[in-house]
């Protein structure tokens, strides 16, 4: 993650079911669904002003740290998150082993 995002806190917006970071009033977020044992990441999006800044990677990395701290298993349905984990294989440890495509990570 780029240094400019390190001190930005992750917000868990339970009303919108989003993990978010606020970058000077602009948001990068991941839509999620959560059960007692799993967190599904559905869609990652950044506001247009944040495109190409690294904000999407930052919100993904912060969300993965959050999931790791909960002890829940990850279901990376979002193609961006799936791709991120494929590039950063150390995060595969969070993915539920029966997730379709697990073997492709």
Residue 92 pLDDT: 98
Is residue 1 very low, low, confident or very high in pLDDT (cuts 50, 70, 90)?
A: confident
The full set of domains in the chain, from first to last, is: 3-104 (3.40.630.30)
Instruction: Please tell me whether the overall predicted TM-score, pTM, comes out greater than 0.85 for this model.
Output: yes
Kindly report, residue by residue over 49-70, the tens digit of the pLDDT.
999 999 999 999 999 999 999 9
Overall average pLDDT of the 69-76 stretch: 98
- CA angle, residues 8, 92, 48, in degrees to nearest 5: 40
Distances from the Cα of 29 to the Cαs of 47, 101, 104, in angstroms?
9, 23, 25
Dihedrals phi, psi of 25, to nearest 5 degrees: 85, 5
Kindly report, residue by residue over 23-57, the tens digit of the pLDDT.
999 999 999 999 999 999 999 999 999 999 999 99
List of residues 6+ apart from 66 with CB closer than 8 A: 10, 12, 19
């Amino acid at each position: 993650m780029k240094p400019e995002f390190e001190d930005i806190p992750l917000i868990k917006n339970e009303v919108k079911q989003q993990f978010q970071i606020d970058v000077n009033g602009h948001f990068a977020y991941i839509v999620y669904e959560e059960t007692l044992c799993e967190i599904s990441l559905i869609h990652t999006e950044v506001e247009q002003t944040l495109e190409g800044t690294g904000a999407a990677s930052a919100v993904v990395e912060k969300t993965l740290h959050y999931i790791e701290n909960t002890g829940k298993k990850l279901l990376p349905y979002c193609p961006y998150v799936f791709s991120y984990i494929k590039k950063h294989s150390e995060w595969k440890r969070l993915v539920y082993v029966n997730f379709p495509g697990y073997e492709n990570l």
